[in-house]
Amino acid sequence: MTTPKSVAGRLFTLLGVFSEQRPSANLSELSRCAGLALSTTHRLVSELVEWGALDRDADGRYHVGLRLWELAVLSPGSLGLRERAMPFLEDLYEVTHQNVQLAVRDGLEAVYVERISAHNAVNVVTRIGSRLPVHASGVGLAMLAHAPAEDQELALRSPMRRFTSKTITTPAALREKLAQVRRDGYVVSDAQIELITLSVAAPIRGADDTVVAAVSIVVPQDGVAVGTLVPAVRTAARGISRALGAPSAVRSPRRGAP
C-alpha cells in the first residue's frame, strides 16, 4: 500500500479501514492497516474523534461516528429520496412483512439507502449503507438496465462475482436479463445472492425521467407466488417516481414502465 502524502489522503485512508467486516479497530490495527506510523495515526485519529467522524468506546476501539452519517444522508443519492419513498416502502412492507429495500447505483454497485424488515423475515446480507454488485442484485439489475450504454458495456466487460450457482456470470446472460428488465419493467432475481431468497425489483425515475434508484422486496425462495408481488413492487416504484416528479409516472401506465 502506498502511503498518501497529503493529510486529507491519510484521513481518508484511516476511514477506509472500517468496513462491514471490520466495524471497529484499535489504534494499532488502524496504524497497521492504513500503513501509517503509530504516532501519526494517534494524532489523526484524535482529530477525527474530536470532529465526530470516529467514536472511541470504553475498550479503546474506534467506530465510525454519527457525524459521517449526518453527511451521508445529504448525498444527492439519498437526500429527499428516502423521505419521499418511505410511505410507499411501508405500504410494500405490509404485503409480506419480509424485506423491503431502496437502493441507488454507484458505478457497478447498488448501495442500499433504506430497508424495512420484520424480525422474522428471511435473512438477507444487506443493510443500510452496504453494497452489492449490480449484476447479482435485483435492484442493481433494475438500475443497470436503464443506465447509460457505456455503463452497461463496462458491466458486461467486467468480472462478475459468483455468489451461488444461479448468479449471472456471463455477458450473454447479463445482456439478456437487462433486455428483459427493459421489456417488462421489473426483474426477478432468483437465488443470485443466497439460495434461500429471491427479490422482485423495479426502477424508480427522477424528475428528468431517468432511473435514479430501485425498490425491491426480498422473500423466501420457496413457497412464494412471485406473480402476486410484481404488481405491488411496480406500484411502489411508480408511486415513488411520481413523488420525485417523474413525468412518465403521472401519465397513463404503459407496458415496460416502472
pLDDT of residue 255: 45
Asked whether residue 1 carries a pLDDT value surpassing 70, the answer given is no
Q: Which residue has the cell 479503546?
A: 60
Q: Which residue has the cell 454507484?
A: 106
pLDDT averaged over every residue in the chain? 89
pLDDT of residue 75: 64
Q: Which residue has the cell 421489473?
A: 186
Every domain of the chain and the residues it spans: 7-66, 81-250
Q: Are 258 and 203 in contact (CB under 8 A)?
A: yes
The per-residue pLDDT for range 147-197, each reduced to its tens digit, is: 999 999 999 999 999 999 999 999 999 999 999 999 999 999 999 999 999
| DSSP β-bridge partners for residue 204 | 213
Look up the pTM and report it: 0.74
Flag the least confident range among 74-83, 127-136, 199-208. 74-83
| DSSP β-bridge partners for residue 55 | 63
Of 178, 138, 181, 130, nearest to 154 (Cα)? 178
Which stretches does DSSP call E strand in 62-210? 62-64, 99-106, 109-117, 131-133, 187-190, 197-205
Percent of the chain at pLDDT exceeding 70: 92
CA distance 128 to 101: 9
Q: Please name the fold of domain 7-66.
A: Arc Repressor Mutant, subunit A (1.10.10)
The yes/no answer on whether domain 81-250 falls in CATH 3.40.718.10 is no
Q: Which residue has the cell 500500500?
A: 1
What average pLDDT does this structure show over 48-59?
90
Of 211, 14, 68, 209, nearest to 201 (Cα)? 211
Report helix, strand or coil for 146.
coil
pLDDT of residue 78: 55
What average pLDDT does this structure show over 219-234?
89
Asked whether residue 253 carries a pLDDT value surpassing 60, the answer given is no
